[in-house]
Chains A and B, each alone.
Chain A
Amino acid sequence: MKRRTFVKCVGCGAAAMAASHTELLPEFMRGVENACAFDFTKQLSTVEARYYRKLEGGGIECELCPRHCRVTDLERGYCGVRENRGDTYHTLVYGLPCAFNIDPIEKKPLYHFYPGTTALSLATAGCNVNCKFCQNWEISQSRPEQTNNLDIPPASIVDVCKSRRIPTIAYTYSEPVIYYEYMYDTAELGREDGIKSVMITGGYIEEKPLADLIRQLDAIKVDLKSIREDYYRDIVGGELKPILDRLIQIKTAGIWLELVYLVVPTLNDTDAEFRDLARWVKKYLGADIPIHFSRFHPQYLLRDLPVTPQRTLERALGICQAEGLQFVYLGNVPGHHAESTYCPKCGQILIQRRGYRIVQNNLNGNRCNECNREIPGRF
């Protein structure tokens, strides 16, 4: 069967990734539930991008992310998916996801956001940073010509959610900031039909576009990759300061927020870093923000480092709990007790998880069913 026909047959609930990524096919198959028809397309989008200004003497300056790429005719920004054509800036990936799947919301991970529900998850090619540990580099570090893209406009995404009773759309896998227009329009349409939207992001975005976007979103998970500026410069290819500013902006806006910190052996795993992180989070975001310490697996440009030892993750857990953070989780360690949510007041297990599966839920609404303590989140 031709790949195109295959995708037509299995349609939604499947992931369409770059053709060479056959290792993803088993997961691809698991998502199959019924049929929809989405074709691969070679065409790129010509939708005008938002948040840019034209420069005197030619060229444009992108104002979407802190890079502020200055881009002349026929060139692209750092993300590889926004192109200047005659001094009009275009997004090349509007409606063209290269990854498309139905995931448990726990996979994002969002542990305090409607636990046990699913999210229609999608991504386009491209990213505005270049993390040496990227788990999805095949799509995030590619240009849209290099991925197999489905043609799915925002309305079709919402239709799939409605027909399949999927409560949430997750913009994820690569970096949603770079497909901002597609995300924004889909989220706005979804909101009209009661479909929630969550953004899984590195948070490298300017203040204004984030402020506008927050109005269409229901939750944001930010990968805070380090609390050190030099790590962002050397390992991520970005900057820390704007991301910290955006985290405060998100918290202030009142939208639900969770953090992930990928613990990379020898690069961001000292006690001092964990302590600095915990103190910053507690001071600026609050002690009740969930933070997930995730296990690193050798990938992309960091193939020579080992998997994060469990004891390192537990060290981070201990330090953050000692600093007063109330919801600290360990990720990619299936079966560990720190996958579950506990009541900070009475210690009752509130949501017991194993991997992405909810084993038991002892919440009464958003309160502990033992001591009635309110648990932050959306339940």
Chain B
Amino acid sequence: MSKVVVVKSQDRELRQPLTRAEYNLFLTAGLRALTGEPNAVAALRKLLPPGVVGMKTNCLAGKANSTPVALTEALADMLIKTDRDANDIVVWERTSRELAEAGYELNAASTAIRCLGTDANGVGYSDQFYSYGEVNSLVSRIITRVVDFNINLPVLKDHSIAGLSAGLKNMYGAIHNPNKYHGDNCNPFCAHVANLTPIRLKNRLTIIDAVRVQYNGGPAYVGSYLHYYGGLVIATDPVAADRVGLEILEYIRATNNHPPLAQVERPVQYLKTAAEIGLGIAELDDIDLEVLDIDVTGNAKEGTLF
């Protein structure tokens, strides 16, 4: 069994997009539930040993629908409380331009939280190819050299080819040739990219931002397809996190009178592939799902996914 925690709220006092303090409430509740630790700092200590921690964002869609700055700030606040130097936290993406366009302040200096793209001076891609199955790629040196552990911070959204864009798909931003892997609904490629050795070994935690979910027309931003779900999906198992994300996405599509992804030629088969190669759990029945509803004060109670 893999544990997945969904923290959500329909509290109208929680503004959207969420603030740093509001994300703090979500993360605290979610990380406690995931680890059984008394607080978020203890949870992060349990999940992430000392070392440099990366946060892989998804900033393809600009400010409107990328990993929120407030989420990375709230998480960084907690990581610093684990006695980690701020400079040992690296917010990153494929390019610095995408980060900047999503509202991030770039910083490649040796003080404060780093924020940079793989294209930043002196970074680039690995010298050697990493291969698994159908995938042969150079991997961002941010993964191979800079960070010791990575937190995957995608946004939950529809994808015109893959069907689901969440954690596994977000790892396309860690390789040099993602354009080669969009055939066949990104299957088996999404699974195989996430199983490249440095990515598989360093990804320790997935936190999917499902506060505002674009349920159609992705991955670019299309405002008319935005649905307020108000949740985060948190897990150490990247496949299980995506599987729950898919359940949410399909529910939102149905709610908005859109057919299941499989009916529009976008079946999400790569999760099954990922499970078959041992990357995680893709069967809902084998996932220990805990749903928490929280209010504006951070009080959490058992909730339902929908």
Chain A interface (Cβ within 8 Å of chain B)? Answer: 20, 58-59, 69-70, 72-80, 130, 141-143, 145-146, 237, 300-301
Quick check: B124 and A78 within 8 Å, CB to CB?
Answer: no
In the complex, the 7 A-B pairs of residues with the closest C-beta atoms, listed nearest first? A73-B220, A72-B160, A80-B179, A74-B220, A76-B179, A301-B136, A145-B119
> Once the chains are docked, how many angstroms separate the CA of A75 from the CA of B222?
14
Interface residues of B in 153-167 (CB under 8 A from A): 160-161
Residues of B within 8 A of A145 (CB): 95, 119
Interface: B217 (CB within 8 A): yes
Interface: B16 (CB within 8 A): no
Quick check: A80 and B177 within 8 Å, CB to CB?
Answer: yes
Residues of B within 8 A of A73 (CB): 217, 220, 222
Chain B interface (Cβ within 8 Å of chain A)? Answer: 60-61, 95, 119, 124-125, 127, 129, 131, 136, 160-161, 176-177, 179-180, 182-183, 217-220, 222
Quick check: B182 and A78 within 8 Å, CB to CB?
Answer: yes
Residues of A within 8 A of B183 (CB): 78
> Once the chains are docked, how many angstroms separate the CA of A342 from the CA of B186?
51
Q: In the complex, what residue of chain A is closest to B160 when comparing beta carbons?
A: A72
Q: Given that A72-B219, A72-B220, A75-B219 are contacting pairs, would A146 and B125 also be in contact in the complex, using a CB cutoff of 8 Å?
A: yes
Residues of B within 8 A of A77 (CB): 179
Dominant secondary structure of chain B at its interface with chain A? loop
5 A-B residue pairings within 8 Å (CB atoms): A72-B218, A77-B179, A130-B177, A145-B95, A300-B129
> Once the chains are docked, how many angstroms separate the CA of A143 from the CA of B177?
7
Quick check: B179 and A146 within 8 Å, CB to CB?
Answer: no
Residues of B within 8 A of A301 (CB): 129, 131, 136
Q: Which of B60, B176, B220 contacts A142 (CB 8 A)?
A: B176
Q: Which of A20, A69, A75 contacts B124 (CB 8 A)?
A: A20
Q: Which of B124, B179, B218 contacts A143 (CB 8 A)?
A: B179
Residues of B within 8 A of A79 (CB): 179
Residues of B within 8 A of A80 (CB): 177, 179-180
> Once the chains are docked, how many angstroms separate the CA of A15 from the CA of B129?
24
> Once the chains are docked, how many angstroms separate the CA of A145 from the CA of B94?
10
Residues of B within 8 A of A20 (CB): 124, 127
Q: Which of A58, A70, A78 contacts B179 (CB 8 A)?
A: A78
Quick check: A146 and B119 within 8 Å, CB to CB?
Answer: yes
Minimum CB–CB distance for B88 against chain A, Å: 26
Minimum CB–CB distance for B281 against chain A, Å: 29
Q: Which of A74, A75, A142 contacts B177 (CB 8 A)?
A: A142
Minimum CB–CB distance for A145 against chain B, Å: 5
> Once the chains are docked, how many angstroms separate the CA of A80 from the CA of B180?
8
Q: Which of A72, A78, A146 contacts B180 (CB 8 A)?
A: A78
Residues of B within 8 A of A69 (CB): 182
Q: In the complex, what residue of chain A is closest to B136 when comparing beta carbons?
A: A301
Minimum CB–CB distance for A192 against chain B, Å: 35
Q: In the complex, what residue of chain B is closest to A79 when comparing beta carbons?
A: B179
Quick check: B124 and A141 within 8 Å, CB to CB?
Answer: no
Residues of B within 8 A of A58 (CB): 217
Quick check: A74 and B61 within 8 Å, CB to CB?
Answer: yes
Residues of A within 8 A of B129 (CB): 300-301
Quick check: B176 and A74 within 8 Å, CB to CB?
Answer: no
Minimum CB–CB distance for B92 against chain A, Å: 15
Q: In the complex, what residue of chain B is closest to A78 when comparing beta carbons?
A: B179
> Once the chains are docked, how many angstroms separate the CA of A76 from the CA of B95?
15
17 more A-B contacts (CB under 8 A) besides A76-B179, A141-B176, A142-B177? A70-B161, A72-B160, A72-B217, A73-B222, A74-B60, A74-B61, A75-B161, A75-B182, A75-B219, A75-B220, A77-B179, A78-B180, A80-B179, A130-B180, A146-B124, A237-B180, A300-B129
Q: In the complex, what residue of chain A is closest to B119 when comparing beta carbons?
A: A145
Q: In the complex, what residue of chain A is closest to B94 when comparing beta carbons?
A: A145
Minimum CB–CB distance for B133 against chain A, Å: 13
> Once the chains are docked, how many angstroms separate the CA of A142 from the CA of B178?
10
Q: Which of B60, B136, B160, B177 contacts A59 (CB 8 A)?
A: B160
Minimum CB–CB distance for B108 against chain A, Å: 16
Minimum CB–CB distance for B143 against chain A, Å: 16
Q: Which of A74, A78, A143, A237 contacts B219 (CB 8 A)?
A: A74
> Once the chains are docked, how many angstroms separate the CA of A59 from the CA of B218?
11
> Once the chains are docked, how many angstroms separate the CA of A75 from the CA of B217?
12
Q: In the complex, what residue of chain A is closest to B117 when comparing beta carbons?
A: A145
Residues of A within 8 A of B179 (CB): 76-80, 143
Minimum CB–CB distance for B123 against chain A, Å: 11
> Once the chains are docked, how many angstroms separate the CA of A249 from the CA of B218?
39
Minimum CB–CB distance for B264 against chain A, Å: 10
Q: Given that A80-B177, A143-B176 are contacting pairs, would A75 and B95 also be in contact in the complex, using a CB cutoff of 8 Å?
A: no
Q: In the complex, what residue of chain B is closest to A129 when comparing beta carbons?
A: B180
Residues of B within 8 A of A78 (CB): 179-180, 182-183
